[in-house]
């Protein structure tokens, strides 16, 4: 289900095209190598098997149909079009920040990833949300019910074009959910530092580095869709690639 940010409240973005070389990379993995579970997963089992040791994709853990209805192009622009949003560069350290009206971002920067651009030249809306201004939207989000002892949760909301994403980095544990579109994940355990350049985009890494990796050096990978939540433990390396124009939200546990 693609994020209808092109026009009206319905169809997918007509701009969702990439140069031919990149277009072939915007596909799901041959086989999801992240463990999967469904809503029958108990909290005790989650803590025992996944919380501190490995990622998992859980289907049906949340029901965010109401939140999804608020995340169409028309509804978001009507509610937040004139609000200023803070964009981050799509490189590992995301040092540079740029503020602009949300409508300007949607109309001019929400485009497929340009392969010629470095991560430091690619602006990405994710993470720097003003919770006072966006609170009316976030209060409609149903987060994953699982928590880790001694942690509190914080949301990070994002919208980005096809082929965009964040290269490998790590931080504390969290959940990621796609509201519209598809997001492909690549994950390594803490003891396995991936081969990557911090200023190259995930798309260029997938095209140039990934094919050269021997099978034993490849990451865990999986594509998540609406209705699925991916959990990643603390300090796990991860990179993301949006296969479509996507709306997504993470719940960080810190």
DSSP, collapsed to helix, strand or coil, labels residue 22 as helix
- The per-residue pLDDT for 14 is 38
- The mean per-residue pLDDT over the stretch 116-139 comes to 85
Q: Which residue has the higher pLDDT, 9 or 164?
A: 164
Averaged pLDDT for residues 199-220: 95
Mean pLDDT of the chain: 90
Output the pLDDT for position 17.
42
Q: For residue 19, what pLDDT is reported?
A: 61
Domain boundaries, the chain: 36-253
- The model's confidence at residue 94, banded by pLDDT at 50, 70 and 90, is low
CATH among 2.102.10.10, 2.60.120.650, 2.70.98.20, 3.30.70.2190 for 36-253: 2.60.120.650
Reduced to 3 states (helix: H, G, I; strand: E, B; else coil), residue 196 is coil
CA 86 to chain centre: 16
Flag whether pLDDT at 127 surpasses 70: yes
Residue 15, CA distances (Å) to 65, 83, 121, 125 in order: 25, 24, 20, 18
Full-prediction pTM beyond 0.85? yes
State the Cα–Cα distance between residues 83 and 155, nearest whole angstrom: 18
**Contact partners, residue 249, CB within 8 Å, separation at least 6:** 141, 155, 156, 157, 158, 176, 177, 179
Residue 197 CB neighbour total at 10 angstroms: 16
Which has the minimum average pLDDT: 84-88, 90-94, 176-180? Answer: 90-94
Provide the 10 A C-beta neighbour count for residue 107. Answer: 13
The size of the chain, in residues, is 254
pLDDT for 120: 87
| 186 contacts 238 by C-beta, under 8 angstroms | yes
């Amino acid at each position: 289900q693609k994020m209808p940010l092109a026009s009206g409240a319905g169809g997918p973005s007509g701009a969702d095209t990439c140069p031919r070389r990149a277009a072939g990379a915007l596909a799901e993995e041959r086989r999801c190598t992240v463990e999967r579970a469904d809503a029958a997963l108990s909290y005790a089992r989650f803590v025992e098997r996944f919380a501190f040791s490995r990622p998992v994709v859980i289907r049906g853990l949340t029901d965010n149909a109401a939140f999804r209805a608020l995340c169409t192009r028309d509804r978001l622009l009507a509610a937040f079009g004139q609000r200023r949003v803070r964009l981050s560069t799509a490189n590992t350290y995301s040092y540079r920040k740029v503020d602009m009206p949300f409508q300007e971002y949607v109309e001019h920067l929400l485009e497929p990833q340009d392969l010629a651009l470095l991560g430091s030249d690619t602006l990405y809306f994710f993470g720097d949300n003003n919770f006072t201004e966006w609170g009316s939207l976030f209060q409609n989000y149903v987060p994953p019910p699982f928590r880790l002892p001694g942690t509190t949760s914080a949301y990070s909301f994002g919208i980005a074009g096809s082929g965009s994403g964040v290269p490998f980095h790590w931080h504390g544990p969290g959940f990621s959910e796609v509201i519209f579109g598809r997001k492909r994940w690549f994950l390594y355990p803490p003891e396995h530092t991936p081969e990557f350049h911090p200023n190259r985009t995930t798309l260029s890494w997938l095209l140039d580095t990934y094919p050269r990796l021997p099978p034993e050096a490849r990451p865990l990978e999986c594509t998540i869709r609406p209705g699925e939540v991916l959990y990643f433990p603390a300090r796990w390396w991860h990179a993301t690639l949006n296969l479509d124009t996507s709306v997504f939200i993470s719940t960080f546990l810190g």
